[in-house]
């Protein structure tokens, strides 16, 4: 597994690397969400995506703040995982004709990204704790809770939307 830097010589360096990668992930999500809002047909799903877009802007700002606190470069490091998940979602959506199935694809794709984010933020939060950055760990924990809340909302919407997709021709 190759990380984005060949000079990861300390936990602090890895921590900063992962914050910069998370920043890229949030930026990619910010770009993808308007397209998802446009493609969603379920009103509650559209609203959930719109709300999460605003939340994602907050997550970006938090990450920039954390990077500023660590006196690190704030330039994002491209998150290939998020990019790949977005590409797969876009490809799947191209092959989806039924509106209810399209909403299911949007929900499933968004949840895959959320699960990745929750796991990554959890890892980075632990790094912050080990490095003695309790205040940063608290901010990261807040983001984890917000991502988890969005994931739960998507599950509730899926419970209502998924049966409709089963009936699609």
pLDDT of residue 74: 83
pLDDT of residue 22: 98
Please give the model's pTM, rounded to 2 decimal places.
Answer: 0.90
Token duo for residue 94 = 């191209």
Q: Where are the domains of the chain?
A: 11-161
Low pLDDT (below 50) residues in the chain: 1-6
pLDDT of residue 7: 64
Its CATH class, for the domain covering 11-161, is mainly alpha
pLDDT of residue 57: 98
């Amino acid at each position: 597994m190759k990380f984005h830097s060949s000079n990861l010589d300390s936990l602090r360096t890895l921590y900063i690397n992962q914050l910069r990668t998370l920043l890229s992930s949030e930026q990619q999500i910010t770009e993808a969400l308007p397209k998802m809002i446009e493609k969603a047909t379920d009103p509650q799903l559209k609203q959930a995506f719109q709300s999460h877009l605003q939340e994602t802007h907050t997550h970006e700002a938090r990450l920039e703040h954390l990077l500023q606190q660590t006196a690190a470069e704030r330039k994002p490091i491209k998150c290939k995982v998020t990019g790949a998940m977005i590409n797969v979602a876009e490809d799947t959506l191209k092959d989806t004709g039924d509106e209810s199935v399209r909403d299911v694809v949007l929900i499933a794709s968004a949840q895959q990204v959320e699960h990745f984010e929750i796991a990554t933020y959890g890892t980075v939060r632990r790094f912050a704790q080990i490095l003695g950055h309790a205040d940063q760990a608290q901010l990261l924990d807040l983001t984890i809770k917000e991502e988890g809340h969005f994931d739960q909302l998507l599950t509730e919407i899926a419970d209502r939307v998924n049966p409709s997709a089963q009936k699609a021709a």
